[in-house]
Amino acid sequence: MLNGDGLRVVLWVAGCNHCCRECHNPITWDPDGGLLFDDAAKKEIYEQLDKSYISGITFSGGDPLHPANGMAVRELMAQIKEKYPQKTIWLYTGAVWEEIYSYALMKYVDVVVDGEYMADKKDVKLLWKGSSNQRVIDVKKTLAQEDASVPVLYCGDYAEEYQLTEKPEYAGGCCV
């Protein structure tokens, strides 16, 4: 529930070279770490996505766009989008949108949370991201623009707009 809209399957991949200070998942930095992603793992993901109450899948890590991961992640996204066209795909990456918006896999992605985690910009009231430099980007709307390098936000920053002290509520699958 913390890794995107709704109740989601999350795949944490190994491999990240961003080395953010106070990263919560340094165990995922080694691209040779983790468990082998085999047919049994893929079957487990599909079994979860088969459930009507699962909104989609989130790719996190580590960095799914690390050079060791990009091709396999793209292939898996393509298979998931074909098998479950109604489910959403979210992608967390330490790269910024301006560097990655032309990547071929973006045609499968609905939302990107971009940018490195910056400990000095940490804010626990932010939705779906850890620090205020990061952005929750609506990929479909952004890519439909004439200039796709300018991100359209999926939603704004709760911390600034609402000064929330309690868990936010959602309407229509997005923030209000």
Minimum gap (Å) between residue 94 Cβ and ligand SF4: 3
SS3 track for the chain: CCCCCCEEEEEECCCCCCCCCCCCCHHHCCCCCCCCCCHHHHHHHHHHHCCCCEEEEEEECCCCCCCCCHHHHHHHHHHHHHHCCCCEEEEECCCCHHHHCCCHHHHHCCEEEECCCCHHHECCCCCCCCECCCEEEEHHHHHCCCCCCCCCECCCCHHHHHCCCCCCCEECCEEC
Residue 63 or 110: which CB sits closer to ligand SF4? 63
Residue 32 or 146: which CB sits closer to ligand SF4? 32
Residue 103 or 162: which CB sits closer to ligand SF4? 103
Minimum gap (Å) between residue 79 Cβ and ligand SF4: 24
**For binding to ligand SF4 (CB under 6 A), which residues are involved?**
16, 18-20, 23, 25, 28, 61-63, 94, 116-117
Minimum gap (Å) between residue 102 Cβ and ligand SF4: 20
Residue 28 or 55: which CB sits closer to ligand SF4? 28
